[in-house]
Chains A and B, each alone.
Chain A
Amino acid sequence: MSEELLELAERVVAQAGAGEQIEAYVSRGGDTEVRVYQGEVEHFVSAQSEGIGIRVIRDGRTGFASAGTLDPAAIAEVLAEARDNVGFGTVDEWAGLAEPDGVPVTEQVLWDEALASYPTERKIELARELERLTAATDRRVRVEESNYADAWGEAAVATTTGIRQAGRENGCYVSISTMASEEGGDETQTGFGFSVGRSPEAFDLDKAAREAADRATRLLGATKPTSRRLTVVLDPFVTAQFLGVISSTLNGEAVVKGRSLFRDRLDELIASPSVTLVDDPTDPRAYTATDVDGEGLAARRNVLIEDGVLRRFVHSSYSARRAGTVSTGNAVRGGFGGTPGVGCLALQLLPGNRSQDELVAEVDDGVLIQSVSGIHSGVNPISGDFSTGAAGLLITNGQVGAPVREFTIASTLQRMLTDVVEIGGDVEWLPMRAAGVSLVIRDVTMSGA
């Protein structure tokens, strides 16, 4: 199937004139979303889409156009628009497409035939089963929604510089949102749970149900804590969100444009020596594992921070050319509608070897952070200021105790990296671009009452 897309992309590229670089990115995909509420299907969405994005570079100027169709007349129009748009770009001496770099592609199993042919009725049944299991965990818990979702996609990219890649992948997940209240009480707390896999056989519904119930019930009776400095233990899910913020400071495009606060710190100590941060999309356990990046170069393992020392920024071919280095295979694209940017693909912190309970046992005055909110509004990755809303459980003398909510935790990204005390051994593979693991950070400000 993907071969057909590749041929389509190559036909576009073949139309390049003298002195013209062309990249064609063609994709097609579909998804299914089932939502169950109180045993009934609330909605069932079955969606398919396809489209093409064409990038043209001439004399250092770039133009781009896209359309959500693979109709031949529309493709001709897209190419003409992209060519027209070239004339309005500023000359950029570093503008250019990726070129084959000889790095071999790590073959990965990204397509599951069992999922591709999984019957609709079973998908609905999975969402129903998850709702049943969750509702049965605790009388105080009710379910807001139970979801099954899957997606498949195939894509091809071809360029006048000799890139020629095609591939396809699929995946699925179930998720559940819960609310908990004491009988007769008017306080409500919320929780969520999920399970992901290349195939529904990989789901752990019991775990998703239990976590969704626990997250909601353990916050019942939560109060607003008093403001102070203390140690935070981030739950794996929260750590993954934290790593997402850190990744924008290690982005090669931010570095060459002067927007990274670590831009001059290569080979310096920027974190606690316990921190080793790797971006490894070739690790098959990662939900976002992939074989090629958005420009068609092999995805690869990059060590970004090693024993606290900043070793590498991630680059696309463009940011690498500007920085005088080579692409790290980190071009990312959000589909056919845009040109590739730069980003981490599958981050993970090198884990330690202790459980969350063992980490907590070392903390005299702290808080176990179960969830954060406002990561997109109160964190400034350029200045480094970090402040998010949070909910969790107080830790006193090594024991997890009273639930707390409606407070913030704040520090700076620079300080948080150096204030890392320990990384847990409890790696969790999440449906995000970073894996989760428990993370202990000292000297964070908690703002509450």
Chain B
Amino acid sequence: MIERDVLQRVLAGALRTGAEFAEVYGEDKRSTSVGLDDGRIEQVTSSRSRGAGIRVVKGDTTGYAHTSDLSERGLLAAAEAAAAAAGRGDGLARVVALTPRAANRVNEIAVAPDSIGKAAKVEVLQRVDEAARGTGPEVVQVSAGYADSHKRVLVANSDGLLTDDEQTRVLLRVSAVASGDTGMQTGFQSMGHTIGWEVFDTVDVEALARDAARQAITKLRARPAPSGALPVVIQRGSGGVLFHEACGHGLEADLIAKGASVYAGKVGELVASPLVTLVDDGTMAGEWGTLGIDDEGHPTQRNVLIQDGVLTDYMWDFLRARAEGRPQSGNGRRQSYQHLPMVRMTNTFVLDGAEDPDDIVAATDHGVYVAHLGGGSVNTATGDFVFGMTEAYLIENGRITEPLRDGNLIGNGPQVLRDIDLLGNDFAMGNPGTCGKDGQGVPVGDGQPTLRVRSLTVGGTAA
């Protein structure tokens, strides 16, 4: 993408005002997406995005500029802008010598999506549409999307690092609307992986589509969700977002550094039920949050954040690790070359417990069973977080009974972590997610076994 000698000269230019650190992040991304709605392939879209972001760190200040002009002239101009943004000054001319380092190859791509014709991608969506509509006459509308992307990434910095990576993604999503006497209801399913077209050898797209349709149809007979604090059982693979919100964000070192997290100063303390071991792992083959290197060029790794309920560590990027004089953890990520990196999660999940999932439901007299969760959000400073339930049922006398209408659940992170009283042995990863922070979205994965929270506030309308 950019020659080594050019990178060396650009980094030297970026350091000219006396900065301690400079970095070039280059990116070349091609993507294809197909949208189906209302029974029609609305359009096939191709896009290309290519550019570099240059970061200069001087004292406590970071300057950043980016350009879509990858010529030496364009890069030098961006380097100058980033250096000026980091603050004025004079420095000695510094020579930067880059040593190439190979990235982890965490994902083996068997069939590059680029090598597959657009007609085949269109056909996947047509199968999805047909399967969803065939689920029942109640299904009145279906929309579906397919997207693949191939991104080449290059990172070079003034510490001499030169590394690159290739990232391939395939995503499929489907949403269905069912209509009946009670109005309209919706269902959603998706799958996303960091492997190639071979994903369709193992994923049953028709089953995915039927599941979205089934959710919508089931909810036509849903009654209003209860209002108030109840035990909540969360199905395996659907509740990783709970941990993402209840504590994941609060364990990001940038928020810790500003005291904007309820988990600041708590390393070594019991912060969760002893049942809980929480891991963030960017190396899991094929998962949505998986990367060979993070967006600062650091290899991704497996980080244990909570071990048997005890907080073991936070997640780190370059800046925050440097401030603390400790190693990075492979969690420095950015949306694109137009964005500054910051501390982000990759794949965040809770390890298996010992319970049979059926026993967890049977042990619950009266509560709510959540089979699918929507998104969520958290205030890391107070720990209060919400997440939406998009498929849920009442639990009565230890049995799953009637479906419930959509609503939010609300809880306080540290309290909810302590209130996890039953943990299943049926771990599964969940749907692909996009995590938003400070205006940037990055792909993340999550997962957990079936579990019970002793008490969560269910935000319905029924007494």
Contacts of A65 in B (CB 8 A): 45-47
Nearest A residue to B45 via CB reads: A64
A45 to B39, CA, bound (A): 44
Evaluate whether A68 and B68 lie within 8 angstroms (CB atoms) in the complex, with A42-B62, A258-B141 already known: yes
Question: How far is B184's CA from A377's CA once the two chains are assembled, in angstroms?
Answer: 17
Q: How far, in whole Å, are A380 and B459 apart by their CA atoms in the complex? A: 13
The answer to whether the Cβ of B400 comes within 8 Å of any Cβ in the partner chain is no
Docked Cα-Cα span, A40 to B61, in Å, equals 7
> Do A46 and B65 contact each other (CB < 8 Å), given the known contacts A68-B51, A374-B377?
yes
Most buried by B among A62, A258, A259, A384: A259
B338-382 vs A, CB cutoff 8 Å, 1 = contact: the mask equals: 101000000000000000000000000000000000111101011
Rounded to whole angstroms, the CA-CA distance of A446 and B340 in the bound complex is: 40
0/1 interface trace, chain A 405-421, chain B, CB 8 Å (1 if under):
11111111000000000
| Contacts across chains A and B counted by CB atoms under 8 Å | 251
Q: Which residues in A have their C-beta under 8 angstroms from that of B340?
A: 43, 45
Contact B43 A374 (CB under 8 A): no
Task: Tell me if B274 counts as interface (CB < 8 A to partner A).
Answer: no
Assembly CA distance A323 to B215 (angstroms) = 29
A91 to chain B, nearest CB (A): 8
Contact of A374 among B45, B376, B461 (CB under 8 A): B376
Whether, in the assembled complex, A332 has its beta carbon less than 8 Å from a beta carbon of chain B, the answer is no
- The answer to whether B228 and A448 have CB atoms under 8 Å apart is yes
Residue A447 interfacial (CB < 8 Å): yes
**CB of B131 within 8 Å of the partner chain:** no
Residues in B with CB closer than 8 Å to A412 are 461
Q: Is the CB of A407 within 8 A of B457?
A: yes
| Interfacial residues of chain A within 242-277, with CB under 8 A of chain B in the complex | 257-259, 261
A-facing mask of B254-277, CB < 8 A → 1, else 0?
000011101000000000000000
Among A224, A380, A447, max chain B CB count under 10 A is at A447
CA distance A426 to B40 in the complex (A): 45
Q: Main SS of the interface on chain B?
A: strand
The answer to the question of B122 belonging to the interface, with a C-beta cut-off of 8 Å to chain A, is yes
- Of B59, B141, B228, which is within 8 A of A257 by CB? B141
Asked if A69 contacts B50 (CB within 8 A), the reply is yes
Contact residues, A9-54 vs B (CB, 8 A): 37, 40-50
Q: Which residues of A sit under 8 angstroms from B66, Cβ to Cβ?
A: 47-49
B384 and A85 contact, CB distance less than 8 A: no
B227/A227 in contact, CB under 8 A? yes
How near does chain A come to B60, taking the closest CB pair, in angstroms?
5
B408 partner, pick from A44, A259, A389, beta carbons under 8 A: A389
Enumerate B155-206 residues with CB–CB distance to A below 8 Å: 177, 179, 183-186
Please indicate the chain A residues that have their CB under 8 angstroms from the CB of B37 in the complex.
257
Question: Separation in Å of the A60 CB from the closest CB of chain B?
Answer: 10
Docked pose: A388 CA to B186 CA in angstroms: 18
Interface centre among A89, A257, A377, A411 (most CB of B within 10 A): A377
Bound Cα distance from A345 to B62, whole angstroms: 35
- Quick check: B386 and A408 within 8 Å, CB to CB? yes
A378–B51 CA distance with the chains assembled, in angstroms: 37
Stretch of B6-14, B15-23, B79-87, B106-114 on the interface side: B79-87
Label chain A's interface by main secondary structure. strand
Alpha-carbon distance between A87 and B225 when the two chains are bound, in angstroms: 46
Give, as a whole number of angstroms, the nearest-CB distance from B89 to chain A: 13
Instruction: Identify which of residues 65-81 in chain B touch chain A, using a CB-to-CB cut-off of 8 Å.
Output: 65-68, 81
Question: Which residues of A lie under 8 Å from residue B407 when comparing CB positions?
Answer: 378, 385, 387, 408, 410
A64 pairs with B62, CB closer than 8 A: no
Per-position binary interface string of chain A over residues 118-132, scored 1 when its CB falls under 8 Å from any chain B CB and 0 otherwise: 000000000000000
Q: Contact: A380 with B406, CB < 8 Å?
A: yes
Offer 22 A-B interface pairs, CB within 8 angstroms, sorted by A.
A41-B87, A42-B62, A43-B63, A45-B65, A45-B85, A45-B340, A64-B45, A90-B41, A259-B184, A261-B184, A338-B45, A373-B377, A373-B379, A377-B377, A377-B387, A378-B374, A382-B185, A387-B460, A389-B410, A391-B384, A406-B411, A410-B459
Q: What 9 A-B pairs are tightest by C-beta distance, nearest first?
A: A408-B459, A378-B408, A377-B388, A374-B386, A389-B386, A387-B407, A44-B85, A90-B40, A85-B44
Extra contacts besides A257-B141, A383-B406, A408-B457 (6): CB < 8 Å: A42-B60, A45-B340, A47-B65, A68-B51, A445-B227, A448-B228
Residues of B within 8 A of A (CB): 34, 37-51, 59-68, 81-82, 85-87, 118-119, 122, 140-141, 177, 179, 183-186, 219, 225, 227-229, 258-260, 262, 338, 340, 374-377, 379, 381-382, 384-390, 405-408, 410-412, 457-461
